[in-house]
A and B are shown apart, each in its own frame.
Chain A
Amino acid sequence: MIKEIAKGLAFTLKKMGTHPITVQWPEEQKPVSPRHRGRHILHRYDNGLERCIGCELCAAACPVGCIYVLAAENDPKSPISPGERYAERYEINLMRCIYCGYCAEACPTEAITLGPRFELADYRRERTVVTKAELLEAWPGFTEAQRPPSPVGAGADQTGREELDPGVRPRAAWAAQEKTLDTETAPLPGALGVPVDVPTVIEPRGTRRR
């Protein structure tokens, strides 16, 4: 009995000397998996056009009905998306969302994906319904002046139309990332050029002594 007690005490004493494995959130963050299903992101094409064409398939696929899409006709002169329609309003009730990812599955243009953000608590209920402005991928180079004339769009001349560069497709990006990169150092997926406010790299061990 004495031997076992001594053994146990020696073990705990040894563990006292080792470094804690706790990640000190929010100062430190672990990178999330490339397939993490966090808050949604509405993507753009590389030329700045929104991928979303306002088809509302995501809203139809949503098992809890937390997505609201109000589609509007594109102005052919300056279209917002390369389809006939675009989403004038796109809102997701994050309190109701179950993060199943069916919206992303249903989307024909891969416009919506579930991103890496998971810190979604808020003090005000109203703010948990996120609008299109919050969901939409930022596009730093985007201004009205630089906006390229779209080759597609309602009523546009279809002759001589070039095939639109689809950009990097999110699912292809995921697959590539999972194949090539170590998750510890991988840039976050779903990012796809999104300036994501979640740090991706853990502080080196030993610096977070507290």
Chain B
Amino acid sequence: MIGPDDLWWVLLIKCGVLVVFLLTAFAYLTLAERKISARIQLRYGPNRVGPFGMLQPAADGLKLFFKENVAPAQRDKVLYLVGPSLAGGAALLAYAVIPWGTNNWFGHEFHWDIAHVNVGLLFILGITSLGVYSLFLGGFASNSKYSLLGGLRSSAQLISYEMAVSFALIGVVILSGSLDLEKIVGSQQGLWFIVLQPLAFILYFTAAFAETNRLPFDLPEAETELIAGYHTEYSAMRFGLYFLGEYINMVTVCSIATALFLGGWLPLLPFHPFDWIPGPIWFLGKVGVLLFVMIWVRWTLPRLRYDRLMNFGWKVLLPLGLINIVITGAVVALRA
């Protein structure tokens, strides 16, 4: 059936809104990161540009645009540009299938996502894995030892933790019986999956830190060891794209966690007055809470040593994920 979602101009508006939203989210996440880290360290954080430093992201953006592009002479000229483009592009692309809610307007079902893919979860996993290439290509093409080390680490780390992420998500897929994100959210009516799958949620969220290269798993860019890791040789807006990719990836993983474990756009309790608040607001609120946790954890925990990171990924997260799958599968099979 042709619904309002299939009209080309509706799609265009949705794309526009999403891109603006994601870029704004990126900008203000950087501000939130700086503000929260400042408060943890008993500082104020940026408070000079605009009220409460609200215009600081705009100032930073302007600066990034007008800075000189310094690049190593011996770089691989094509791959050097592919890296950051892929980082920004993949981050934006992954968000296309994340649903914010559904509405019934004028007898038509309206979906708050851009592409309604019935294997949305698979699509997201695929696209986020593409992010590894951006980091590795950037590190490789820079022709610098720190960048290469950062790129190597990122590929090893992301591939290891990709496994943990997938295993954690399979439990949810077993319960809901679908890879369609909207259906997964719909099956959480009444009981969020975080109650049924607490272990999977913790596994996923832990691995999400590694996926987004954030402390305590920020080995690919470990400042104290690798200057800045894979983006050491990047400057100006090329660096800005990596930056953007990292922060939008944060939004993406938090959105997936919200959709899969925290009931997506469903209200906290399924009655008044909770369901007067529109679904997308609930969704964004939950994502915001998770983002806060990510920032909070970053400014609390120290970086893991590299072998510990690998140990943790392969010897702790992965077995736990497997156990979770076995138990979930057994319970579902027995109850069926």
Q: Which A residues contact B (CB, under 8 angstroms)?
A: 5, 8-9, 11-13, 15-16, 18-22, 24, 210
Contact = CB atoms under 8 A, between A and B. Distances in A.
Contacts of B299: 12
Contacts of B52: 210
B44 A9 contact: no
A20 B36 contact: no
Contact of B39 (A8, A11, A15): A15
A5 B301 CA distance: 7
Interface string B43-83: 11001000010000000000000000000000000000000
B42 interface: yes
A16 B36 contact: yes
B301 A20 contact: no
Given A15-B39, A16-B36, A210-B47, 7 more contacts: A9-B297, A15-B42, A18-B42, A20-B42, A20-B44, A22-B44, A210-B52
A13 B296 contact: yes
A104 to B, nearest CB: 36
A22 B47 CA distance: 12
A195 to B, nearest CB: 29
Contact of B43 (A12, A13, A22): A22
A11 B300 CA distance: 8
A11 B41 CA distance: 11
Contacts of B296: 9, 12-13, 16
Given A5-B301, A9-B297, A9-B300, A15 B40 contact: yes
6 contacts: A8-B301, A9-B296, A12-B40, A16-B296, A22-B42, A22-B44
Contacts of B38: 20
A24 B40 contact: no
Given A16-B36, A210-B47, A210-B52, A8 B300 contact: yes
A16 B301 contact: no
Nearest to A11: B300
B300 A20 contact: no
A17 to B, nearest CB: 8
Given A8-B300, A8-B301, A210 B42 contact: no
A21 B39 CA distance: 10
Contacts of B44: 20, 22, 24, 210
Nearest to A13: B296
A20 B40 CA distance: 9
Nearest to A2: B202
